[in-house]
Amino acid sequence: MIIQIIVSVGALLVLIGLWGLLTRRNLIKMIIGFSIMDTGTHLIIVGLGYREGATAPILDSSITPGTHFVDPIPSALVLTAIVIGLAVTALMLAYAVRLYSSRGSALIEDFKENAL
Amino acid sequence: MKTKTDKPVLPNLDLPASDKGYFCDARPEVVEPVKGIWENFLNWGRANSLWILGFGTGCGAIELRPLMTSRYDMYRFGVQPRPTPRQSGLFIIGGYASVKTLKRIVRSYEQMQGPKFVLGLGSCTVNGGMYWDSYNTINRLDQYIPVDVYIAGCMPRPEALLAGIKALKQRILDGEAEGANDYARNFDWYKANQKKIITDWNMPDYNW
Amino acid sequence: MNPLIALAVLMGTAFTMPLFEKAGLKPARLIFLAALTLLLVISGGILVNLLNGAPDLEVATAGFKAPFSINFRIGLAEAAVWSAAALVLLIGGSYMIHREEDGMYDRMLYLVLALGVTGLILTRDLFNLFVFLEISSIAVYGLIGRGGERSLQAGFKYMIAGGISSILFLIGTVFLYRLTGTLNIDGMAAAAGSGSLAGTVGASAVFILAISMLIELKPFPANGWALDAYQEAPSGIGALLSSAQASAVFIAFTKISPLFGDRLAAVLGGIGMLTFFFANLMGMRQKDEKRMFGYSSTGQIGLVIFAWFAVRGTGMPETAAWFIVGGLLLTHLFAKAGLFWLSGLADKSKGEGGNGFLHKVLPSALAGIFVMSLLALPPFPSFFAKMELVKLLVTGGSWWILTALFLGSLFEAAYLFTWLVKKTKAECTDGGADTVNGDSLVVGKRAGPDILTDSPAAEVSSLLKSSTSLWVVIPALALGGLSAAWAYMAGVFNVIAMAPFAAALLMLLLAFLPGRVRGFLAVLVSAAAAWWIWPRTEGIDQIFAMLFLGGGSLNLFAGLYRKDRRPGFWAFSLMTVLSLGALVLARTPLEIFMAWEVMSVGAVLIALQGKRAAGPARTGMLFALGGGYLLMTVLMSIGTTTVLSPAVAAILVVIAFLSKSGALGLHVWVPGSYAEADNDATSLLSSVISKAGIWAMMIFSIRILPGIYGLDGPELWLQAFNSGPFSFLSGILGWIGVLTALVATIVAVFQEDIKYTLAWSSISQLGYIILAFSLFDHFGWTAAIYLSINHFLFKAMLFLAITGVIYRVKTRLMYKMGGLIAPMPITFITVLIAIIALAGVPPLSGFGGKWLVYSALIQGGRPVQAALAMFSSGIAFLYLYRLIHSIFLGQRKDDSLGIKEAPFWLILPQIVLIALIMLISAFPTVILKPIIAAVGELMPAVIGFEGSTLMSAIGYWNGSWVMYVTMGVFMIPLVLLLIGTGRKTRKVKQFNIVFAAERPYRPETTHYAHNFFAPYRKALGSLMNPLGRKFWEGSAGGVTAVSSAFRRLYTGNGQTYALHIVLFTMAAALFAGVFA
Amino acid sequence: MIKRFLAIIALLGAAAVLLPFVLNLPTEEALPELASKYIENAPGELGAANLVTSIIVTYRGLDTLGEVAVLFAATAAVGLLLKRTGNEVGVSHWKSSEILKSGGGFLFPLIILYGVYIFLHGHLTPGGGFQGGVVIATGFLLLLLSGSVDSFNHTVMSLVESLSGFAYVAVALAGLIWAAGFLDPRFLPQGDFGRLFSAGAIPVIYSLIGLKVGAELLGILDAMRCKVRREGVTA
Amino acid sequence: MTILGQIGAAAFSVFIFINYGFLLAGSMARIRARVQGRIGQPVYQPYIDILKNNARRTAVHHGVMFFLGPVFRLAGGLGTFLFIPAILNSPLFANFSFSGDILLVMYFIFFGQLGMALGAGQSGHPYSPIGVSRGLAQMSAFEMPFILSVLALAIKHNSLSITAIVQAQQGGIANWSMITNPLAVIAAIIAFLGMSMHNPFSVVIAPQEIPIGPPTEYHSGLLGMLQTNRSIFNAAKLVLYVNLFFGGASATEGVLYALSASVLHAVPVWLGVTLGVVTMVIKTFLLYFITVFVGVSFPRFRTDQSIRFFLFVPTLIGLAGLFLARL
């Protein structure tokens, strides 16, 4: 049941991000759209790893023999995904800065130099 | 083929230098007739096949036309008109010959081949006729080109022309019609007379 | 050799690059190149021991077995692509250093890109695949941005697309993990096999994964961003993008393809073919070089994707599948990288004049090799791969895909060849011989003989100075090695098939030797080939072999008349002549097709050497390739269940061969190519190479087509051609032949330019040969072979004589010449004998040909065609007289006063040809007996010799007696004339003519040559509009209009591209039926 | 207008593609076989309390290596794009509020200490190298925002970054030479479970990653900080 | 027949038909004069003209090809005649017809034209090439009807050899080609008009425009040779036409032969041959009349008009003749 909610919220975030990407003309807003989509995806990844009534896979004093653990692999994957998302967003922002400084406008349609 | 040995060459002074290469500058040569039966036979052939050059130089040309009609019919005598001097043997100078026409007459005459005959038609060729004192006609034709037969009259009728042709035929048969050789022998005299009267001579001295 | 060491070294150097930077630029660059070299060494080492039969290399990480940790597996395919990518990366690195574009950050990103590419190729783990995909993408994002303000925009659009694709990949991966329980691709494939992905979630997850990878491979509707990237990225990066990175992503794509269902596979294959077709369609209108290469590489990758999915369904063994896909992929990798680098180097050396340094020998040869390999021409691996692919499609009977493949390849050939021609042909600054084509008069300045400007020494030194172009040789060498490997695998790696390429390569390598030395070498090689082939063939093959090789050597000998080096001419003409020899000896369909393709493309390359030959050569190339594709379809259906109905196969084969010999309708390229080629090259083209089509039609009618349809034995296939499935052929071919002859002759009459006249005359003579061939009986084929030999003799004579004339008079317009009989008597005699023979006037051998054709036609029951043929030979008489009158007779112009006779090299072949023609005319039995015997083996003999008279059912001809009577009748009047008027005749000059009692003014005004047959033009005026040319130009115009319509799709706005991607995903989902 | 309409269609299409995922999610409770195996024998084999860390650092160590490379590439690319082009005008001091300046000064050492704690105890408590690095970077960001320092010492930053990266690769190679495979941490003793110096080389790897990530993010922030001034357009 | 015998016979038959050619030309001129009410030139005038031309003492030539032009022309005329069997079944008049069939004859006509054209070309005079271009254009046009008619005959008699065609037409007027295939004969006759360069198609040697066209620079001995050729070439064409279309002349059959056979029971060989020659002379004389009549009564076509004329109606007639032959 909780997985249902998490995954649908994740999917919703992806759609919102996509909507932002497709309609907003400002570069920064497009990048924000991208990061929303990233977050949505990460939510889906973690959501799929969750098991009802299970706890984080860290063996410390509070673990009793019978406890169930959540699936550790998605959480490992999500870490990498987040870092990669961070890297891509950083690079996009750098591009946005350079594009803005070169053209003085932040609207995507002003950058149609090499049409055809 | 006649190989070009050390024959005297005409100077062709009136030709511009650039055109000298276009024209042959050899002198005309005397070709002695072959004596005896063979020459008579050839003369018989030449006499009975007189080809007239279709070059109406003066008012006499109109007299030539009736000869083609059935009334006078020159074809009976083996005479027929030819368009180019190369192929014709007889050159009829009909009437006055202006200086301008003389230049063309000389070139056509020189381009005719072998035994060639000239028939001066009308008194203008004899002594200038009514134009004897005109500034641009010549008075005596045979000072410029050798003439075989003169037919007097201020424009003699076709019958007279036929008689003239008949007389010419007789001269050929007798072997006296050697105008070509005469022209070749005293070529310089003829040429001097011609050049005296023709001023715009832009042609070679002898038009092969 | 553990691949992980390579990974470690790359990362270590990348991380510590700032330290080396502190130590100075030199050491930093050294370590950078060292790392790349180590990568190449490791990948090469693994490839070598895999080739020596070692099993696939399995490498685990982190000390645990596969499912628990990430593992690498390197099969032969991965190793090959990896080492190829490593090689390209190394060269790319040195290119970057040479261009001084390598800051510290650039080198870091470059190493990371190398890391990404390696990882992509080797990893077997899905998420790890994603990580390496992101590594290479980010490295590329960084490197693209380097190129200046406009490359920033391209970089940003690239990132948008990359971002969307990575998000889709993530979602797909995690859902697949959730369903199959493992991230290892092999594990997933096993789980998919056991049905765990059957549900809607499984299907959509696989779909999303496939689409994300596909977006990375730049599919058609959604690759606007890729093309902007190609256009704006610096050439070095463009090279890597299209070669190393694209191949790595494709290998990754193939690794996950076992997961796809059949329907999804079909959709992806369809998208691949769509990409190939539309990318090339749009590439046709490109002005910007790099964007054009972008279109070409997206198209090629699309083709590779299509090939992968086409091969997948057929259950063919692994090696055969990779033979096709590997061939296409590796050729594209090296060729595209080479092209990008060459265009980069050319831009940099803009200063050296014109289109950079490409028109020098080595760079142009390299550009040629790369473009030819992309066009899938022999001997490159892509040729063999495309052959197998076509075989697959033909047996599968999928005609629409085949047409799309052929059309796409033709579009690609169009724009790549135009680029090659524009770049490698030095602008003919000195105007060349003035000419007129069709009706527009193009007057060029006086042209010296077209000698390459710089001497050999300068050439080699400039080469060494610009060291980078040495680097670019390496991909060419790699391509050569691959070609040898693929040829070996295809089983054609033998002396005969490979001889043309070896010869061409040798000639290009010896480019620094003086022209005449290489010329002699070429003549020796072709003569040796003729001598070698003579005992190995018999019957028709022997006759045509001698025509091809003997004739070829003669023409090559004539080529020695020019002192300059002409690198292109010697290489390509020798290649074409040897390929003709290979064609005669070829037996298997592959050998036949390979030899045919080399010959037809070689002919176009020979024509290309002419000064203004760019336009016509391009059309010629398209016709050559088009014909080749049709032929390939038929040849590839051999040995398989014959899907082609006999009529269709016959039509395809006939169209292919007729396009080579220039029959009506397919002739538009012939006049231009023949006229604009070098003068002696035209002789080779029209007298020797045009016959290949005729010989090929004969061989196909006897061996190949009957072989396909099981009609073995002369009776059977003769019956097939006269009344069976192929019977319609003889009628149509007959009419094509006679109409070609008629129309070509009429057009030839009105040409002002000699070479156009002779080109049209060649077409009409070929029309006669096709007419004779179309009878499909002993009489017809004897006539066809006799005509071919005859046409070779007098056409070679005509063209060589004309070469001499043009060489001396420097112009090709007939009315500007005149009176050349005096300075060039031997050339006059040659042309006189040639036109007597061509017109078919009795004493000479030409009449034999005419007699054979007409008697064959009458006996074959085709009087109307015979009448039209005789009428056209009547008209042929017109342009022949015009040719000899305008050039040799009439008034001699002043500027031709100083010229001398044609050079010795041209005169000797002409004398040999005159002797041959005289021999054949006086004793026709010498040539006709062997022909009758040779054709007699194939068909029941219809005509024969009784003594020296050739008897047919309805007529007879005694060549020797005709010659004796003519000689007798000629000598007696001559003697009479010499005796009679010879002595009296005096030689006079040109103005001693009766000019209506006036003196002629100028030679030009007294020479009647321009518009010689004006009344004919007035009488037949309406017949004259060039229908053939109008049709082909119309269709070409249509295609380019469609192409520019599609190009408007790419607006250049990043957001629109994102929209395209999402809509593309949605459309693909619809087709793949993922939803319900 | 057309674009807006197409965008809506595109969105609906995307929703339709994502719908099957949301509707019929796989719901079986049991962990997949691979995950349960990890949980059983990870502590035994590697001795790390935090199973996620053991997966990240060893089992899927190549991913992490790749990740570090990704971050490194991103930093290099940002550096490439935004490197000093020399036309910046000297940036005036950031007039930040008094609270930020003094608070920042006070909080900075605590944040750094907290960051170091995270990546040192990566194998025991949740979190690890990446998270620790990010925390350290935020510390420095605080300094930056508070305006008390206007630039960082580049040589130190790049030194730390390249050395830690090189060390990481060295550790990976060490695994190959002494232990069972590339990136295998077991060439160091496992020590006793739950202690700081346990689970072989995992803490070493994670701290190296922490340092590297911290330095890289700092580099990105530093690059972003310098505002490029174009004539006439004030930042 | 030994080689020498054949050559002797050929020489004899050439001698006969060359003189016939001269007399034919002379008599036609005389008849034309009579029509115009003139007495006209004597019948033997051509002989005198040739004698006069050869008797010229000087001559001029423009080069080797110019000098060889008339030789080519005469060789063409003689060759065409020698390849046609003049009289059927008489070895004396069979000439060298064994060396080639109708195609050889049709193409040998070009030999003469080519030589003439080359010689005229080198004369340097613009009128010659103009004449040649008109001549070639017209020749290529009238070739079409001639080809179609010849093909019709070849199809009808299923043979290309002239002797076979003549043989098939023996035995009375009913099986002359004129009767069996009238359309082909009409086309052939129109083509013959074109060949003979008489008036409607005399644009080639139009005296007023371009003085006698191609041979404008020829004179003395060279012109003499051209005139000899005109006679033998005319004779050859006439003999060819009679052989193909009007039953030819045979030494062993024909009307005259039947008459003399009824009188003499056994007709000696020499009588048969002479009767053959006489029939040939009569037939050719009447055939030549057609061209003279047409020539006298029509104005001259321009070249493009004649091309369009030949390629329209006569070609259609020829095609009809062809289909007629195939029935």
Query: Which of A23, A72, A94 is opposite residue D52, by nearest beta carbon?
Result: A72
DSSP for residue D90: P
D94 band by pLDDT with thresholds 50, 70 and 90: low
pLDDT band at C345 (very low <50, low <70, confident <90, very high): confident
C893, HSE (Cβ side, Cα atoms, 13 Å): 17
Residue C430 clears pLDDT 50, i.e. is over it: no
pLDDT given for residue C236 in this prediction? 85
Q: Residue C655 falls within a domain, yes or no? A: no
What is the DSSP pairing of strand C435-437 with strand E59-61? unpaired
Alpha helices in D85-201 (DSSP H): 98-120, 129-146, 154-178
User: Average pLDDT of chain E?
Assistant: 88
pLDDT given for residue D84 in this prediction: 61
Distance of CA C348 to the CA centre of its chain: 29
Q: Name which of C839, C855, C1006 is nearest E126 (Cβ-Cβ).
A: C1006
At E53-85, the pLDDT tens digits run: 998 999 999 889 999 999 999 999 999 999 999
**pLDDT for residue C462:** 54
Q: Please name which of E18, E6, E17 lies closest in space to residue E228, comparing C-alpha atoms.
A: E18
Q: Do C871 and E71 touch (CB under 8 A)?
A: no
Compute the distance between CA of residue E173 and CA of residue E179 in angstroms, rounded to an integer.
8
Quote the domain boundaries for residue A89.
2-52+70-110
D175 touches chain C (CB under 8 A): yes
Measured distance CA(D164)–CA(C659) in Å, rounded:
68
pLDDT tens for each residue of D120-175 = 888 888 888 899 999 999 998 888 888 777 677 778 888 898 999 999 999 988 88
Q: Is the pLDDT score of C250 beyond 90?
A: yes
Phi, psi for residue C58 in degrees, rounded to 5 = -110, 120
Check CB contact under 8 Å for B22 and C983: no
Position with higher pLDDT, B191 vs E1: B191
pLDDT of A116:
44
Q: How far apart are CA B19 and CA B35, in angstroms?
A: 41
Tell me the percentage of chain B whose pLDDT exceeds 90. 44
Domain definitions of chain E by residue range? 49-326
CA distances to C131, C339, C1015 from C86, in Å: 20, 18, 71
Distance (Å) from the C-alpha of residue C15 to the closest C-alpha of chain D? Answer: 5
User: Chain A residue with minimal CA distance to C158?
Assistant: A92
Q: Which percentage of chain E shows pLDDT scores above 70?
A: 98
Going from N- to C-terminal start, the domains of chain D cover 1-231
Amino acid at C356: G
pLDDT at residue E95, rounded to an integer: 86
Sorted by sequence, the CB contacts under 8 Å of residue A97 that are 6+ apart come out as D81, D82, D224, D228
Count Cβ atoms below 10 Å from residue C194 Cβ, excluding itself. Answer: 9
To the nearest whole number, what is the mean pLDDT of chain C? 86
Q: Do C984 and B2 lie within an 8 Å CB cutoff? A: yes
Domains: count for chain B:
1
Shortest Cα–Cα distance, E314 to chain B (Å)? 34
Residues within 8 A of A (CB atoms), D 64-123 only: 64, 66-67, 70-71, 73-75, 77-78, 81-82
Task: Check A95 against C159: CB less than 8 A apart.
Answer: yes
Say whether A108 and C1055 touch across the interface (CB within 8 A).
yes
Size of interface A-D (CB pairs under 8 A): 127
Predicted confidence band at C439 (pLDDT cuts at 50, 70, 90)?
A: very low
Across-strand partners of C998?
Answer: C995
Write out chain A residues lying below 8 Å of D81, CB-based.
91, 94-95, 97-98
Please write the tens of the pLDDT for every residue from C873-903. 989 989 999 999 999 998 888 888 888 888 8
Task: Report the residue of chain B nearest C1002, measured CA to CA.
Answer: B19
pLDDT (0 to 100) of residue E208: 66
Contact B24 C987 (CB under 8 A): yes
Q: What pLDDT is attached to residue C453? A: 40
Q: Which residues of E touch B73 (CB under 8 A)?
A: 33, 38-40
Q: Which of A18, A84, A100 best probes binding to C when mutated, by most C CB atoms within 10 angstroms?
A: A84
Query: If you average pLDDT over residues E19-43, what whole number do you get?
Result: 90
Chain segment E131-174, per-residue pLDDT in tens: 888 888 888 899 999 999 999 999 988 889 999 999 888 888 88
On the question of pLDDT at A92 being above 50, the answer is: yes
Lowest-pLDDT range of C93-102, C519-528, C628-637, C785-794: C93-102
Show residues of chain B in contact with E36, CB under 8 Å.
Answer: 70
* Cβ pair D7:A23 closer than 8 A: yes
Q: pLDDT of C465-514, one tens digit each?
A: 555 556 788 888 999 999 999 888 888 888 888 889 899 888 888 878 88
Of C719-723, C1061-1065, D230-234, the least confident: D230-234
Q: 3-state DSSP call for residue D14?
A: helix
Residue C597 belongs to a domain: no
* C984 reaches B (C-beta below 8 A): yes
Q: How many domains in chain C?
A: 1
Task: Please check the confidence at residue C449 and state whether its pLDDT lies above 50.
Answer: no
- Checking if the pLDDT of E187 tops 90, the result is yes
Whether C718 shows a pLDDT value over 70: the answer reads yes
| pLDDT at residue number C172 | 92
- When scoring B12, B18, B19, B22 by the number of chain C Cβ atoms within 10 A, the one with the most, hence best to mutate, is B22
Number of domains in chain A: 1
CB contact (8 A) between residue C150 and residue A113: yes
Say if A59 falls within a structural domain: no
Please indicate, yes or no, if residue A57 is contained in any of the structural domains.
no
Identify the CA nearest to B95 among candidates B119, B68, B66.
Answer: B119
Helices (H), ranges, chain E: 3-35, 45-54, 64-82, 102-122, 127-157, 162-169, 177-180, 182-196, 220-245, 255-264, 269-297, 303-310, 313-326
Is the pLDDT confidence value at C359 over 80? no
CATH of the domain at A17: 1.10.287.3510
Query: Under DSSP, is residue B94 helix (H, G, I), strand (E, B) or coil?
Result: strand
Q: Nearest CA of chain A to the CA of D198: how many Å? A: 14
Closest CA to D35 of A96, A71, C880: A71
D186: contact with C, CB 8 A cutoff: yes
For residue C554, give the amino acid letter: L
Model confidence at C441, in pLDDT bands (50, 70, 90)? very low
Q: Which domain holds residue C187?
A: 1-192+223-249
Three-class DSSP category at A71? coil
Q: Is B31 left (phi over 0), alpha (psi -120 to 50) or beta?
A: beta
Does pLDDT of D231 surpass 80? no
- pLDDT at C966 (0 to 100): 92
Q: Is the pLDDT of residue B191 over 80?
A: yes
> Does position A114 have pLDDT exceeding 70, yes or no?
no
Pick the residue with more confidence: C308 or D48?
Answer: C308
Q: With beta carbons under 8 A apart, name residues in chain D contacting A98.
A: 81-82, 228
Q: Does D4 touch chain A (CB under 8 A)?
A: yes
Question: Are B and A touching by the rule of 3+ CB pairs within 8 Å?
Answer: no
A99 has a pLDDT exceeding 60: yes
What is the extent of the structural domain holding B162? Answer: 51-197
Whether B187 maps to a domain, the answer reads: yes
Residue numbers in E near C863 (CB within 8 A): 151-152, 154-155, 322, 326
Mode of pairing for the β-strands spanning C71-74 and C57-60: antiparallel
Three-point CA angle C326, C327, C331, nearest 5°? 110
Q: Chains B, E: CB contacts under 8 A, how many?
A: 87
Q: Does D touch B (3+ CB pairs < 8 Å)?
A: no
Residues of chain C contacting residue A41, judged by C-beta atoms under 8 Å apart? 167, 170-171
Return the structure tokens found at B73. Answer: 């019919």
State the Cα–Cα distance between residues C525 and C528, nearest whole angstrom. Answer: 5
- Least Cα distance to C913 among C558, C597, C626 occurs for C558
The set of residues, in sequence order, having a beta carbon less than 8 Å from that of C56 and lying 6+ positions away, is: C50, C73, C74, C75, C76
Per-residue pLDDT tens digits for E224-239: 999 999 899 999 999 9
* pLDDT of A9 strictly over 90: yes
| CA angle, E144 then E145 then E148, to 5° | 85
- DSSP per-residue codes, C937-973: HHS----EEETTEEE-SS-EE-HHHHHHHHHHHHHHH
Residue C243 lies in a domain: yes
Three-state SS at C680: helix
Q: Do chains B and C touch (3 or more CB pairs under 8 A)?
A: yes
Closest CA to E137 of C847, C749, C738: C749
The secondary structure of C854-872 as a DSSP string is: HHHHHHTT-HHHHHHHHHH
Q: Is the pLDDT of residue C640 over 70?
A: no
Tell if the CB–CB gap between A60 and D32 is shorter than 8 Å: no
pLDDT of D198 strictly over 90: no
What pLDDT is attached to residue C165? Answer: 93
